[in-house]
Structure 1
Amino acid sequence: MTTVTSSEFDRAIALGPDGPDAPGRYTGELGAGWQIGGGINGGLLLAVAANALRQELPGHPDPVSISGYYLSTSRPGPLTVQTEVIRRGRGLSNATASLGQLDEDGRPVERLRVVAGYTDLAALDGEVRTSAVPPQLPPPEQCVGREHMPMPITPDLALLERFELRLDPATVGWAVGQPSMNGRLQGWFRLADGREPDPLSLLLVADALPPVTYDLGFPGWAPTVELTVHLRAVPAKGWLRVSHGTRNLAGGYFEEDCEIWDDAGRLVAQSRQLARVPRQA
Structure 2
Amino acid sequence: MVKTTIDMNADLGESFGHYTIGDDAAMLDVVTSANVACGFHGGDPDVMASTFRLAREKNVTVGAHPGYPDLWGFGRRLVPFTAAETERLVAYQVGAAQAMATYAGHRIAYVKTHGALGNLSEQDSDVATAVLNAVQGVDASLALVAGAFGVLGRLARERGMTVYAEIFADRAYTEDGLLVSRKQAGAVLHDVDYISERVIRMVRNGAIETISGKMLPAPMDTICVHGDSAESVAIARTVRARLEDAGIALKAFA
With the length of structure 2 as denominator, give the TM-score of the two structures.
Answer: 0.24
Bigger share in strand: 1
Larger radius of gyration: 1
With the length of structure 1 as denominator, give the TM-score of the two structures.
Answer: 0.23
